Amino acid sequence: MVRWSWLFALLLLATPAAGAEPGVSAAPRIGAADASPVIAVVDFAAVRRDASAAKAIAQKLETFVSAYQSDVEREESALRGAQEALKRKQAALPSEAYAVERRSWEQAVADAQRRFMRRRQAMDEARAQAWQQVNEALGTVIRGLAAERNLQIVLRKDQAFWVAAELDVTDEVLNRLNQILPTVEIQAIEG
């Protein structure tokens, strides 16, 4: 009879508690009552690529860059033509007159370089201001979503090795961003 009670006690110890998963203690799990995640992940590269405002920025800047490149090519062509004309005149002009024309040409090159540098800086500033608007709106969207879902942390997707699909809120962030900031105005870039 002792044998059966010993065997029965061993069986009771080896059997998991009712409702518990095999191999898991029956002790209550911390946070089990709160099934909602406190972490979310956003694919910022996808947002920066797919947002309506991002596409508007890219399109407007492409227009500015195209005009900039056309102007640079036209100016370079004119300066090359002036340089070739100057070379042809070198033998016919006295050295002092040639030096004056050479300095004039060099000044035209320096002026063109400064003008295009200012225009390039203006494009960079316009791009930065446009993206600042997008980033501010994105921050507003993420803070709002975090408050609604009681999120404690929102991570960049590219910083995670693996992410469960239910933690990825990229599509929702993108939709909300498109609603509050469908486009970004970029001022005309002069130079």
Domain ranges of the chain: 37-180
Element (H, E) at 140: helix 95-149
More confident residue, 136 or 18: 136
The pLDDT value recorded for residue 44 is 94
| Phi and psi at residue 163, to the nearest 5° | -135, 130
The pTM assigned to this predicted structure is 0.68
pLDDT value of residue 173: 97
What b-and-e string marks burial along 12-38, b requiring 16 or more CB atoms within 10 Å of the CB?
Answer: eeeeeeeeeeeeeeeeeeeeeeeeebe
Average pLDDT (144-150) is 95
Categorize the per-residue pLDDT at 37 as very low, low, confident or very high, splitting at 50, 70 and 90: low
Q: 37-180, what's its fold?
A: Protein Binding, DinI Protein; Chain A (3.30.910)
In Å, what is the CA distance from 56 to each residue of 47, 48, 89, 103, 156?
13, 11, 50, 44, 23
Check whether 24 has a pLDDT greater than 80: no
- 57-110: pLDDT as tens digits: 999 999 999 989 999 999 999 999 999 998 888 888 898 988 999 999 999 999
When mean pLDDT is compared across 19-33, 115-129, 173-187, the lowest value belongs to 19-33
For residue 129, the model assigns a pLDDT of 93
Residue 42's beta-bridge partner residues? 156
